[in-house]
Amino acid sequence: MSRPVGVTVSAIVALLGSIFALLVAALVVAALFIETPQPKPPNSTEMLIAVALMIAALAVIGFLTAVGLFRLQPWARTSILIFAGFLVVSCTTSLLMSMAVPIPPQFSENFRLIMAVMFVIPSAIAVWWLIQFNTQSTKAAFASPMTAGVSPRPISITVIAWASLIGGVSCVFAILTRQPVFLLGATLNGWIAGVIYAVFGALSLYIGKGLLELREEARILAIGWFGFSLVHSSLVVLVPPLRERMLAMQRGLEQNQPNPIPPDLAMIMNMAFAFSAIVGATAVWFLIRNRAAFGRAEES
């Protein structure tokens, strides 16, 4: 079957986006060698390296996905659907936060308009991808006698699995940049925080791999993990002492910046934890709803 025009255009857009991402990664690395009149904040070098590596990794995935789209490989359709879903959620959340947070005095009056354009355009592209790659003609183009019906894994489980894998890898960046851990009201730093991030990362990687293989123990563990995240987020937002400790930690991080921007930390924290709670609840719901897929995998 011939490749639909929308798929070809999407592949080109993915290639251009990957090239742009590589350029951004290069600029981030170049920032390491730029002299600034003020001293750089602590761990800024590690942070920039981690950001550059993450952006470069996304660019590589984008290149591979674009090539897969040109070749009508089924995994590429799944890849771009996962990325489109992530893009819609992240850009919409970021747009709402940018509209709600007070504008710092050093920014121009067009700050909100610029931020809106930055987030609306990727969101529009992502929505287009979600529609384009769910049409019957596109599904038929990616259908192959060699791959049709091979994987019994629902796409929602695939999304959760890859989100867990990405979360596990991101813990490595948190260790490299020496980020503190806020756990049950306690702020942990140093090697203790590194150990906790290592445990969280290993757990996320195990869950992600297990979900891709449709292992029942991974599903149960994932429900417990996302459930714990949901409960923890709710406690931090709803229990005043925990809330104040979290805000104190955030203020401490802001003070390490050479030119800290005074955002409304309470509002940002509310939106961040609300987003985390929604993601956690949605993941648990899909894991419970699709339990039959795990049973079929064990029977086979």
The two three-digit tokens of residue 41, written as one number: 């904040």
Q: Where are the domains of the chain?
A: 1-142, 152-300
169-179 pLDDT tens trace: 888 878 877 78
Residues 74, 142: contact at Cβ < 8 Å? yes
pLDDT over 90 at 207, yes or no: yes
How much is the pLDDT for 264?
A: 52
Distance between CA 21 and CA 29 in Å, rounded? 12
Distance between CA 14 and CA 137 in Å, rounded? 20
232-260 pLDDT tens trace: 877 777 777 777 777 676 666 555 554 44
Distance between CA 285 and CA 116 in Å, rounded? 31
Residues 194, 201: contact at Cβ < 8 Å? no
Nearest to 256 by CA among 193, 168, 189, 183: 189
DSSP string, the chain: -PPPHHHHHHHHHHHHHHHHHHHHHHHHHHGGG---SSPPPTTHHHHHHHHHHHHHHHHHHHHHHHHHHHTT-HHHHHHHHHHHHHHHHHHHHHHHHHHHSPPPTTS-TTHHHHHHHHHHHHHHHHHHHHHHTTSHHHHHHH--TTTTT-----HHHHHHHHHHHHHHHHHHHHHHTT--EEETTEEE-HHHHHHHHHHHHHHHHHHHHHHHTT-HHHHHHHHHHHHHHHHHHHHHHHSHHHHHHHHHHHHHHHHTSSS-----HHHHHHHHHHHHHHHHHHHHHHHHHTHHHHHHHHH-
Q: How confident is residue 223, by pLDDT bands cut at 50, 70 and 90?
A: very high
The two three-digit tokens of residue 236, written as one number: 């931090």
Residues 59, 28: contact at Cβ < 8 Å? no
How much is the pLDDT for 87?
A: 83
Distance between CA 153 and CA 208 in Å, rounded? 13
How much is the pLDDT for 262?
A: 44
Q: How confident is residue 158, by pLDDT bands cut at 50, 70 and 90?
A: confident
Residues of the chain with pLDDT > 70, as a percent, come to: 77
17-44 pLDDT tens trace: 888 888 888 887 777 666 666 656 556 6
pLDDT over 60 at 185, yes or no: yes
10 Å CB burial of residue 43 (0-12, 13-18, 19+) is middle
How much is the pLDDT for 58?
A: 82
Mean pLDDT (the chain) is: 78
How much is the pLDDT for 62?
A: 86
The CB density around residue 156, as the number of other CB atoms within 10 Å, is 17
Distance between CA 298 and CA 174 in Å, rounded? 36
Over residues 286-292, mean pLDDT = 89
Over residues 95-113, mean pLDDT = 67
pLDDT over 90 at 281, yes or no: no
Q: How confident is residue 90, by pLDDT bands cut at 50, 70 and 90?
A: confident
